[in-house]
Structure 1
Amino acid sequence: MRGRADGSMLSRVTMDPAVRAAIDAANKNDIAAFLACFTEDGVVDDWGREFRGAKRITEWSDNEFIGKQVSLDVTDVEDRDGEVVVTAQVGGNGFNGPSHFSFRVDGDKVSRMTIRA
């Protein structure tokens, strides 16, 4: 699947519900909802730095993601080799610019979110 649109894309493009929930939670700056999207041993890989489990993901997010009032303006969604790859313009009080987020989903939860430029 591939789609392009403005920031309202999430409501128009079919996206795995776990990925959609994680993006929505990030955009609402809701750490509890964001964590609820992950498996118990879920991982965030931020440019090769891995954060596994709720405690470590929270520490990372507090310093670099939701704690920086992140916003993700999705511009593209693609299903690539079993992963959902989301391209977004990142805003907030931390990193700003284009980025790619690759999601692996296990059942109804995200097992891994990898962030790359």
Structure 2
Amino acid sequence: MKIGEIAKAAGVTTSRIRFYERQGIIAPADRGANGYRDYPEELVALLRFIEQAQGLGFTLREIASVEIRGGAHIVSCTDALAMLAKKRDTVTALIAEARDRKRRIEALMAELEASKAASGI
């Protein structure tokens, strides 16, 4: 498949595919005699996986560390569950930090409001 076809099928841009190639996230495409990139149809599933993983907060480094395989599941369920559990724990910690930060901001705002009311400025 040509780069435009694979991009359309996977729902990504051609520049994103080229970027993934440069970063080593996907293997470089074979080139035809005309110099055009020729991608295997199986790449569509990998590109969709990469997009989904990024949407869940995984970095390209984390995605690149995953062992990709063929078949219906390009990542083993065991590996996927382990990665998702780790990411969930990270997100849980970030939420707790954000709640604490919000609480401290609101406390400071209340303190400043009280100070403003008391001083009239």
TM-score norm. by structure 1 comes to 0.26
More relative contact order, 1 or 2 (CA 8 Å, 6+ apart): 1
Greater percentage in helix: 2
